Amino acid sequence: MDKEKLLQLNNLHVSYGSLKVLHGISLYIDEGEIVALMGPNGAGKSTILKAVFGLIPIESGKVFWHEKEILPETREMIGRGISYVPQGRRVFSSLTVKENLEIGAYTVESRNEIKERIAEVLDLFPILKSKMKELSGHLSGGQQQMLAIARGMMTDPKVLLLDEPSIGLAPKIVKEVFEKIRHINEARKTSIVIVEHNLKSVNEIAHRTYVLDKGNIVAEGIPKNLMDSGILEKVFLGNI
């Protein structure tokens, strides 16, 4: 018996005005998986995350949640258990770390539950415990990225969408961020879809990878097999 797909896209087409960005994308993520989306700039990777989260309209195609067709709308996707962390360490710089985390739980009505969730994410990101009263704009780049992910975890998501979490970070901090992502997956059983250009780091944690080029999926499989096949070099060098 086939395993139920947690999240599935079927023949997704997305355009920005007259510019077609996604040309019939079909992919899936199972429970507990880390799935990487790789490809050069402009391949459509971030667009997939935004379309799934209801931030941009889908021209055609279908999205399935637990194999039931749904219409992606941001608030409903949050309610279903999907959280999105955009690229660029986007935190509310004029608010404290605690206030940023509370905003991440804006759909949670119970104050006690919010406190419990803050305690849970602080266990995942203990470096933030001593920073709770600090303005998030005063944090280091790595700390801001961890806060952005922690805020995304405040909804207790089943699927976490991460858009280039390593961008602009020093190599040592990149390693720490990816260790946290792996820990979230293993400890919380959170499924993760990650867009990332740092091939080495993402290949160390991903279970499966989709390779995109010009809005199309050109390969899919286990990261090591894809690396050995040479397809990534061809895509990134424009030789496909």
The CATH number covering residue 230 comes to: 3.40.50.300
* pLDDT higher than 90, residue 19: yes
pLDDT of residue 114: 93
CB 182 within 8 A of CB 205: yes
Q: Does the predicted TM-score (pTM) go above 0.85?
A: yes
123 is a domain residue: yes
Q: How many angstroms separate the CA atoms of 35 and 27, rounded?
A: 10
216 is a domain residue: yes
Q: How many domains does the chain have?
A: 1
Query: Residue 205 phi/psi, 5° resolution?
Result: -115, -20
CA 186 and chain centroid, separation: 16
81 is a domain residue: yes
Q: What is the pLDDT of residues 47-60, one digit of tens each?
A: 999 999 999 999 99
How far, CA to CA in Å, does 8 sit from each of 52, 76, 101? 10, 16, 29
1 is a domain residue: no
2 is a domain residue: no
* pLDDT higher than 80, residue 7: yes
Owning domain of residue 61: 7-236
Angle between helices 97-104 and 111-124 (to 10 degrees): 120
80 is a domain residue: yes
pLDDT of residue 29: 96
Pairing of strands 208-213, 68-70: unpaired
pLDDT of residue 239: 67
215 is a domain residue: yes
168 is a domain residue: yes
Pairing of strands 208-213, 34-38: parallel
